[in-house]
Amino acid sequence: MKIGTRKITYLAMFVVLNIVLTRVASIRIASGTVEAIRIGFGGFPVILAGIALGPAAGGVVGALGDLLGYWINPMGPYMPHFTVTAALTGIIPGLVMRIFKNEQPALWQLFLAIAVGQIITSVLLVPYFLYKLFGVPLVYKMSTACLVQAFNIPIYTIFTRLLLKRVNLKPALSKN
């Protein structure tokens, strides 16, 4: 696997964007001592990295963003479950895009890749882990996650499409 300067620069930029958008530019609502709802765009750089640079890059951005973000600004105890979930946020859309093998993916293909990833990670895994680790009611967290993702998935899709064209990024079709 060849990693050039350009790719390292993009990875670093996506990690920083993930940290800032997750830790600073998000609305966080706590339930007791645990964050129950987070509204923001922190997952977007991870998803974009997975689609534009490949699933491995998306996983690295997600995991590093979570680890460094926790080190800079912890929001509760460290739980590796959420680092894995953050990595999957970038891996899953990148893998789904590989199925289509299009350098110029259709809007519905981007929507599907992002939706599959967000449903698995944000709607299923995060609520499950919050329930198992902290006792946050599963139904409550899943319903709020569905509501948040009903807005985020279309927004992420449109932003991804725009940035893929504007920055001249092409979905990574080769294996990392």
- Domains annotated on the chain, with CATH: 5-166 (1.10.1760.20)
Nearest to 69, CA basis, from 19, 28, 126: 19
23-32 mean pLDDT = 73
Quick check: 128 pLDDT over 60? Answer: yes
The CA distance from 46 to 61, in Å, is 6
Q: What is the mean pLDDT of the chain?
A: 89
Q: Count CB-CB contacts under 10 A for residue 94.
A: 27
Interval 51-74 mean pLDDT: 94
- Residue linked to tokens 């609305």: 27
Q: What one-letter code names the amino acid at 123?
A: V
Judged against a pLDDT cut of 70, whether residue 174 lies above it is answered with no
Q: Is 36 helix (H, G, I), strand (E, B) or coil?
A: strand
- Give the per-residue pLDDT at 167: 81
Positive or negative, the CA dihedral 137, 87, 67, 37 is negative
Cβ atoms of residues 94 and 58 within 8 Å: yes
Structure tokens at 88: 């999957």
Identify the weakest region by mean pLDDT among 47-51, 155-159, 168-172: 168-172
CA atoms within 13 Å, Cβ hemisphere of 62: 32
Structure tokens at 1: 């696997």
Question: Can you give the pLDDT at residue 176?
Answer: 47
Which of the pair, 26 or 140, is modelled with greater confidence?
Answer: 140
159 closest CA partner among 48, 61, 67: 48
DSSP per residue over 90-143, as a string?
Answer: HHHHHHHHHHH--SS--HHHHHHHHHHHHIIIIIIIHHHHHHHHH---HHHHHH
Look at the pTM and tell me if it is higher than 0.85: yes
Cα separation, 73 vs 57, in Å, equals 23
Q: For residue 31, what pLDDT band results from cuts at 50, 70 and 90? A: low
